[in-house]
Chain A
């Protein structure tokens, strides 16, 4: 059975804050995005998830969805799954198989892989993967400067032309990464040792990507687009360069400059962006990364244009800028 992504969906909150706002309010900004996405006061990862999923399902028969997987590092409940909220909001079949992934920014590709597996267990034709994230910290935490918000969704189908899944390779281990969060805490903690965290990122992602390429008997050069997990402006690009990727291969999948750090969504939103311009025959590689787990690299080949490649560009352009004071109000910091 071939499994392909046949449709994509995107949601970016309308509100944006420019890096310049941080500079004029605080004198500095620890993140090097141009601007970033900000949830409105009545938005959370679930409302974003519903919007992205509706975008992906726009022209499809929702009753044929048999699997729903969901990922975020910032679900609004510590106990109470949110899959049911999506089932109701989207009007999915009541017998849909669900799984929910969190705890680390690797959760996005985990959800995609889980959907590929669960698709074998349903008579239905489609699996829906929804990844929605908005990492959160108090405004006094430097890392917060880069935190954005976004959601993306994919419909996987059995034996239908689209973006065919080719394979996955993982590198797992006790990966401290840069961040973690304890039960009951709303703010992400930073281990504060950036160089160590970067080394960890580089080793894990490189091992997953090179392992995947070699497993599939390919070269990195065979990929039209290579999309990396982007927690800041430079680390991912620097590693890609080190691995021998060209700017052309990584440029289109970069989203950090426009959205900031969007956690589990990062490389998957990048995938949505490249899908808007990818041509039949293109090979695409994405790699995720998350503290405590490592990296997963996935390979795809575009066999036929998607039914719906999502509205990344439209969402990117639909925006309203806010100032830093309003930003703090949105986050209920004041």
Chain B
């Protein structure tokens, strides 16, 4: 049993998940990601312009999910790797986002290290592969 995100719900978020499309607030100019209906910075803006984020950023914080503690839909991945890292990335454009890290350095993850977005399989539900971004050391 896994977290249920329906296929249509997933599909509606494809621009964010596949290529990190953010929104620039028409009122204050700041970049929201993931998208909001009202800008999270000025609480005013409701019109936004799509912006392609660079996918570059730095590690703001990190953890390593141990195999036994993984959510059921990530159990196979945890079994394969023993554990996997999850990080908060501070993107170059400002927003922070949570995601998995791939190819973590052997010496360990450090807060502040540069990372870049990569396109990976996130999980599978209803037989459909859910693709999206993870981050790798840059």
Chain A interface residues (CB < 8 Å from chain B): 14, 40-44, 46-47, 50-51, 54, 76, 85, 88-91, 320, 329-330, 332
Contacts and interface: CB of A to CB of B under 8 A. Distances in A.
Contacts of B77: 41-42
B19 A76 contact: no
B52 interface: yes
Given A88-B18, A91-B19, A47 B120 contact: yes
A43 B119 CA distance: 9
Interface of B: 14-15, 18-19, 21, 52, 76-77, 79-81, 100, 102-103, 118-122, 129, 131, 134
A85 B14 CA distance: 9
A90 B103 CA distance: 22
Given A41-B80, A320-B103, A47 B19 contact: no
B120 A43 contact: yes
B119 A50 contact: yes
A320 B104 CA distance: 11
Contacts of B122: 42
10 contacts: A42-B134, A44-B121, A46-B129, A89-B19, A89-B131, A90-B19, A91-B21, A320-B103, A329-B80, A330-B80
Contacts, number: 50
A51 B18 CA distance: 12
A54 B55 CA distance: 12
B103 A47 contact: no
Contacts of B119: 47, 50-51, 54, 89
Nearest to B124: A76
Given A41-B77, A89-B131, 18 more contacts: A40-B102, A42-B121, A47-B119, A47-B120, A51-B118, A85-B18, A88-B14, A88-B15, A88-B18, A89-B19, A89-B119, A90-B19, A91-B52, A320-B103, A329-B79, A329-B80, A330-B80, A332-B80
